[in-house]
């Protein structure tokens, strides 16, 4: 054996040994199916798309028939049943997240939900006081309360009787942090300013978003899953109240200019996530393209067993503004009751999705095919 052959043989042997110990991603960028993260908890931040009870606990703003398709009663969710975050926790085999402000019957051992209906990224550009920075501050408050409480009982050499309901301090750095917010910043802007002004305001949203993620990182958060915003131009309320001009509605009846604003927000958000990866090397970031999943569902509604995606299941916006749960009789017709077949509708109340639609979207985003990097949610920590 000559020296060149010997060197080649040794190099191949070393490579085989390395492959035994190093997990190499497959060609499509995903990881070996045998590897999986074990998240002890999930902490969620966002708006009504993932609020499991903050607004209901703070303002009692939700009314029946919310929750009728799964929970059987008011669940604190703006839907007839489960939200995308609920299907995510099911996938991870974690209990449904208790809302941080819900003081009755809550269990925070496996995480907490700080998302609030109407919340925005910027403090004064939404419909709720619980903007993203406030939610992050509440998370830090939770950490502080847990630490002080455990120290207090430790000094007395006793354990709190409700310890099993509390987060474990060591779990904060191992948990999954999910963020789904931005729709209200855009929606609020479109209601009160021009489309051009909303576009100009997106960089400010990104600065606020980055700052809040940095704060979470500074207190120990390491695994982030960040959802972009959906096609707001396809919300029934958007298409109903928008005065269409020639060429401004697409084949699905969605408002093209509004969707373009959402797309620009998502483009800048993705750039921001890439920048966060560079600046926070100890963290793992997954950017999730919810927009594509939702638009695909809307475009293929009939093939997926749904009715017209612009048809509202609960409430009415056609001629009369009657919110879901607020019954009214107009010309002998009763409005405010839910439709008889929520599972065939995409829109629950004109703004939020039904459980059936949320389930469809969750199925198409949790496997990683619409993520960057393209890894399933169970491998986001790798």
- To the query of whether residue 352 is one of the catalytic residues in this protein, the response is yes
Residues 49 and 84: beta-carbon distance below 8 Å:
yes
Residues 359 and 353: beta-carbon distance below 8 Å:
no
Residues 6 or more apart in contact with residue 104 via CB below 8 angstroms: none
Q: What is the largest CA-CA distance in the chain?
A: 96
d(CA 261, CA 103): 38
Q: Is the peptide bond before 20 cis (omega within 30 degrees of 0)?
A: no
Residues 6 or more apart in contact with residue 209 via CB below 8 angstroms: 121, 132, 181, 182, 269, 272
- To the query of whether residue 171 is one of the catalytic residues in this protein, the response is no
- Determine which one of 110, 227, 345, 352 is catalytic: 352
- Rg value, the chain, Cα: 23
d(CA 280, CA 219): 13
Count CB neighbours of 245 within 10 A.
9
- To the query of whether residue 30 is one of the catalytic residues in this protein, the response is no
- Determine which one of 47, 69, 349, 371 is catalytic: 349
Question: Shortest CA distance to 82 belongs to which of 380, 278, 355?
Answer: 355
- Determine which one of 48, 120, 239, 371 is catalytic: 48
DSSP annotation of 252: T
Write out the catalytic residue numbers.
48, 349, 352
């Amino acid at each position: 054996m000559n020296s060149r052959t010997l060197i080649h043989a040794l190099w191949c042997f070393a490579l085989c040994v390395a492959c035994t110990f190093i997990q190499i991603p497959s060609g499509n960028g995903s990881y070996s199916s045998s590897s999986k993260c074990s998240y002890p908890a999930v902490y969620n931040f966002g708006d009504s798309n993932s609020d499991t009870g903050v607004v209901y606990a703070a303002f009692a703003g939700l009314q029946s028939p919310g929750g009728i398709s799964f929970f059987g009663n008011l669940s604190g969710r703006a839907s007839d049943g489960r939200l995308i975050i609920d299907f995510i926790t099911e996938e991870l085999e974690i209990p449904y997240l208790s809302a941080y402000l819900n003081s009755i019957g809550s269990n925070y051992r496996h995480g907490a939900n700080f998302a609030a209906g109407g919340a925005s990224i910027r403090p004064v550009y939404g419909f709720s006081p619980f903007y993203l920075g406030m939610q992050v501050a509440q998370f830090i408050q939770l950490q502080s309360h847990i630490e002080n409480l455990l120290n207090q009982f430790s000094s007395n050499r006793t354990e709190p009787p409700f310890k099993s309901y509390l987060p474990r301090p060591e779990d904060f750095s191992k948990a999954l942090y999910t963020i789904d917010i931005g729709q209200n910043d855009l929606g609020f802007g479109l209601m009160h300013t021009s489309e051009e002004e909303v576009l100009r305001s997106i960089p400010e949203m990104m600065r606020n978003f980055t700052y809040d993620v940095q704060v979470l990182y500074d207190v120990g958060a390491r695994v982030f899953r960040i959802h972009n915003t959906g096609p707001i131009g396809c919300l029934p309320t958007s298409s109903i109240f928008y005065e269409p001009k020639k060429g401004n509605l697409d084949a699905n009846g969605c408002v093209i200019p509004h969707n373009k604003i959402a797309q620009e927000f998502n483009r800048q958000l993705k750039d921001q996530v890439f920048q966060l990866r560079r600046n926070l090397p100890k963290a793992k970031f997954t950017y999730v393209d919810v927009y594509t999943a939702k638009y695909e569902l809307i475009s293929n509604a009939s093939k997926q067993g749904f009715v017209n995606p612009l048809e509202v299941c609960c409430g009415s916006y056609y001629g009369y503004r009657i919110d879901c749960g607020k019954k009214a009789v107009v010309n002998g017709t009763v409005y405010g009751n839910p439709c008889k077949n929520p599972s065939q509708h995409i829109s629950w109340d004109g703004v939020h999705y039904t459980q059936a639609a949320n389930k469809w979207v969750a199925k198409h985003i949790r496997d990683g095919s619409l993520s960057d990097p393209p890894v399933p949610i169970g491998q986001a920590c790798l």
